Amino acid sequence: MTYRCALITGASSGIGEAFARALPKSTSLLLTGRDRTRLGQLAGELANAERTVRSIAADLATAEGRQAVIGFAEGQPIDLLINNAGLGYLGPVAENPPERESEMAQINVAAPVELTRALLPGMLKRAEGGQRGGIIFVASAAAFMPIPLFATYAASKAFLLHYAEALAEELSDTPVDVLALCPGATRSRFFERARIARSDNLLPMHEPDRVVREGLRALGNRVVHVVGSGNYLATAAARFLPRRLVAAAAERAMRRWQ
């Protein structure tokens, strides 16, 4: 599908940057993230005669940052919203810094909810003219299971998964498509920020380009898409095995990352 204007959060690197690069050259872009320098470089690189590319540096962990992005998007013909920004932090809940736990909840849960609620009415109105709109929530394969030592991250992604599924049903009779995109381990700065130093040795990594390619193909065709056959099998097993067993197995796996 061709979209007139896309807002991408967490666009300065990883999956967010890959989305910005993958969208058609005719799609105008609104990019947001924390890295002002990188956002500016990316905007300059992707701008062309067919589209405008604008960026705003904002911290979605704060109410001020979220409102700044909403204000930035006001008046723009956004018909594709990509809620990509996300944060994880490895460690026991009782030992993690309280501000990191709160930061995960604000970025992974509050930000997509507030942005979606602010932009959805305009997207629905614009879509009445026949041009479909779309919302992508970048969740995770972790959304399907409780994960000790990654408890808040996994729970926040489970929220996104359920939110996207419920929203998709609410909008099923409208021209706005919703997708929960659930990648597994993806090559990005996520693991460094999450304090996971050994991930390259323990996990097969997908490239951001693959995640984005599959996500854009899935939007409008299904509501949930898990990237990779291995991740799909793991998430399917997690749904049918006893939850206590799944949590215990996840904890053993996570301890290898410490």
Report the distance separating Cα 29 and Cα 7, nearest Å.
6
CATH of 5-255, one of 2.40.40.20, 3.30.565.10, 3.40.50.720, 3.40.50.300: 3.40.50.720
Catalytic residue ranges: 153, 157
H or E segment at 11?
A: none
The pLDDT score that the predictor gives to residue 231 is: 82
The pLDDT score that the predictor gives to residue 187 is: 78
Q: Show me where the domains of the chain are located.
A: 5-255
CA nearest 61: which of 40, 33, 35, 90?
33
Tens-binned pLDDT, residue by residue, of the chain (258 aa) = 689 999 999 999 999 999 999 999 999 999 999 999 999 999 999 998 889 999 999 999 999 999 999 999 988 999 999 999 999 898 999 999 999 999 999 999 999 999 999 999 999 998 887 789 999 999 999 999 999 999 999 999 999 999 999 999 999 999 999 999 999 888 777 766 666 765 555 567 889 999 999 999 999 999 999 998 888 888 888 888 888 888 888 788 777 776
Task: Say if CB 80 and CB 7 are below 8 A apart.
Answer: yes
